[in-house]
Structure 1
């Protein structure tokens, strides 16, 4: 079972961070895995912060797209996600986002599907 190293980049904008629970689903030519909870012992997804997660998941082959969402929980659940990177078995994938995942911003959605850059 491969180890996926997932890195999230929260924007450096006012109120960009979130306390909501964040989930990711990985899609590759070998299948789909997730949603998986992105959580560790740190205070994740704060303004201007880079967070790292290691997940042992089923092999999906090269990751071509991801689905990121949060559950809109907490006092200020809106989140400005700059980008996500996924590293597995020597493959590095970048997923640019540069948008709000928030009920009160942009398109009012708390989820996004991102394609590999």
Structure 2
């Protein structure tokens, strides 16, 4: 569920956080490497867990997408939050393709 006090991604992601997290977790080393940000920069996304915060998706520059931030352009870290929308969009598109492939099996 996105934070009300942070800008929302438009359009909102099709996959929910759990679907994206599980899709990444199913990959070797729990990571995807063939993604490009909305600005065209290659990046790696990793599914991680922590006893303190639970599940999150680790992005470049130690940015993180938490379940509560999925669907926002920024996460809840700090006053302005870390920018995550440019990473969440390609993760969502990748997740949609993966789910479609699984449904066609």
TM range, smaller chain: under 0.3
| Higher-helix-fraction structure | 2
Tell me the TM-score normalised to structure 2 length.
0.28
| Higher-strand-fraction structure | 1
Tell me the TM-score normalised to structure 1 length.
0.26
